[in-house]
Structure 1
Amino acid sequence: MRGQAPQHVAITGAGGQLGRALVDVLSPLVAQLSVSDLEVRDLDFPGRAPSQERAAELHPASVDVGDDEALRRWLTACRERAPLDWIIVNAGLGGPAPQGAFCEDPGRTASLIEINLLAAIEQCRIASEMMIGNGGGRIVLISSLSALIGYPDAPVYAATKAGLRAYGLSMSVRLAGTGVGITIALPGFLSEGMTEGGSWRPFSVTPEQAARQIVRAASSGRTEISFPRPMSAAIGALGLLPATLRGAVYRRWSGRSQVLSRS
């Protein structure tokens, strides 16, 4: 990447809790932020009035990341504005699976796979081509700790995040020597915006805490970061258990989540 610090960063899904936190954290650090979401009105940042800290120039756009042509047009416009140093692939669908059925319906499954995995891969593909032509850059993929363990109340979501992590790890090797780096972020539960139905959310972090950790990891060139540490460590320990014991923990977790969601 040209230089040590990014000057132009693009963020998809910038209207969500984590996206907004990333904008707030990056605003004093970069010159330009190109941000997108499904609706421009979701990208209203009334709290970003300049204070003593320098605020980045903000360029909002309405973009459906599931539309490959619209996505390419937006990223091309971003690059024409200024060389793109980072893209944070944050747009995604989440939330627990609906109660009352063992498997998620085909429509929801297809939407999760399209946005969380296929659209994220396309963002990575387009951005990497542009960044190689510009001398380098960094692609930040927002995965999840569910990629390591699976969440009983969100199985398809967990599958898409596991796929995204595998893709990112593969691409980090494939892009070696091009100047383009990959950072894969595996956050746990956020304390805002991820508690639909009152489901159990242990070791939650705030969106701002998550955003700061992600930006630090990308700035230092790390390939992967998982947080918060207590939950990451617990998941690591769970992976060492025999399959029967892991299953018992999963069932207890799932049962507690469902009990809390009915309370």
Structure 2
Amino acid sequence: MTTRTWFITGVNSGFGRELAAQLLDRGDRVAGTVRREGSVGDLADKYGDRFWVGHLDVTDPARIRTVVDAAFAELGRIDVVVVNAGYGLMGAAEEFTDEQVQHQIATNLVGAIRTVRAALPHLRAQGGGRLIQLSSVAGLAAFPGGSLYHATKWGVEGFMEALAAEVAPFGIGVTIVEPGGARTAFAGGSLQLGAPLAAYDGTPAAFVRGIRDGRVPIVGDPAKMMARVIESVDLEPAPLRLVLGTDSYRAATAALRARLAQVEPQEATASTTDA
């Protein structure tokens, strides 16, 4: 088994914590970031020097550069950079405040882009590595009540897919992880809902209100999902997308087929606008 060094944003809970714990258990080194200092004290006590912790809010661009630079400076080569920090903002589009909209985009999309941009010079200088973006099936399929969350996930998917071709000449592989629902603390912690408007009661957008109180079934096992992420780093070339969960596979394939069905009948009319 190859021992690696990983940089992971958002290791205090959810997928980030599960991934960090599995890696540390198997003997790898992890540089993890947290928004709340002291939130991973148990991991620090257990794993000592193999667990490096940085305090980071990914909405702070200067801090992103500082923390990423410090991790590479102190640990040397970092083999895998995992962009994981984020949260879900759900509800109908007009149920959010402007501040909620801005913060969701600043965290999930802009924060991810800035983290990748901070890591790239180091990965190029060391001759390669892996970039892993924790996205979601919400980056491939869209559902009512998820408009803002989809906006960030679809955005980061486009960024990472284009980036994969840009950095391939430098030996940097890119993988976008597409999990479905997972039994993490997402529903009770990192999921936020807009203030409900009565106009949307009983409409498709109201479906997401059932996530928090358990009315939406969740089948994904986060431990199995993160084990698959770890296994993916041994694959050459890096898989561009890693689909996790039967719900993710079904939703993604249905959405892609529907998109083709919408586009393909327009082949003849599309050509009528050519010069």
Would you call these one fold, judging by a TM-score over 0.5? yes
Matched, 1:114 2:71: no
Match of 1:11 in 2: 8
> Post-superposition shift, 1:233?
2.2
> Post-superposition shift, 1:24?
1.5
Q: Comparing 226-235 with 125-134, which one deviates more in the overlay?
A: 226-235
**CA separation of 1:112 and 1:95: change in aligned 2, threshold 3 A:** closer
Match of 1:66 in 2: 59
Match of 1:253 in 2: none
User: Conserved in 1, the CA contact under 8 Å of 2:44 and 2:51?
Assistant: no
Q: Which amino acid aligns with 1:236?
A: T
**CA separation of 1:192 and 1:31: change in aligned 2, threshold 3 A:** closer
User: Conserved in 2, the CA contact under 8 Å of 1:203 and 1:228?
Assistant: no
Matched, 1:91 2:85: yes
**What is the rounded CA distance, in whole Å, between the counterparts of 1:29 and 1:135 in structure 2?**
25
Q: Which amino acid aligns with 1:119?
A: G
Of residues 213, 219, 237, the one that matches 2:254 is: 237
User: Conserved in 2, the CA contact under 8 Å of 1:8 and 1:30?
Assistant: no
> Post-superposition shift, 1:230?
4.1
Q: Which amino acid aligns with 2:8?
A: I
Q: Which amino acid aligns with 2:29?
A: Q
Matched, 1:22 2:8: no
Match of 1:150 in 2: 142
Ranges in structure 2 where 5+ consecutive residues have no aligned partner:
189-208, 261-275
Of residues 27, 31, 54, the one that matches 1:34 is: 31
**What is the rounded CA distance, in whole Å, between the counterparts of 1:207 and 1:193 in structure 2?**
10
Tell me which structure has the larger Cα radius of gyration.
2
Q: Comparing 25-34 with 145-154, which one deviates more in the overlay?
A: 25-34
Match of 1:219 in 2: 234
Of residues 190, 196, 207, the one that matches 2:182 is: 190
Q: What number of residue pairs does the alignment pair up?
A: 236
**CA separation of 1:30 and 1:133: change in aligned 2, threshold 3 A:** farther
Runs of 4+ aligned structure 1 residues displaced above 6 Å come to: none
User: Conserved in 1, the CA contact under 8 Å of 2:232 and 2:239?
Assistant: yes
> Post-superposition shift, 1:217?
2.0
> Post-superposition shift, 1:123?
0.8
Ranges in structure 1 where 5+ consecutive residues have no aligned partner:
244-263
Q: Which amino acid aligns with 1:12?
A: T
- Residues 175-224 of structure 1: per-residue CA shift (max 9 Å, x gap): 11101111110111111212245425445312212211222223322221
> Post-superposition shift, 1:160?
0.3
Of residues 101, 107, 124, the one that matches 2:116 is: 124
**What is the rounded CA distance, in whole Å, between the counterparts of 2:241 and 2:25 in structure 1?**
24
| Structure with a larger share of its residues in helix | 2
Percent of paired sites with the same residue: 22
Q: Which amino acid aligns with 2:233?
A: A
**Secondary structure of residue in 2 paired with 1:181:** strand
Superposition CA RMSD, Å: 2.7
User: Conserved in 1, the CA contact under 8 Å of 2:178 and 2:248?
Assistant: no
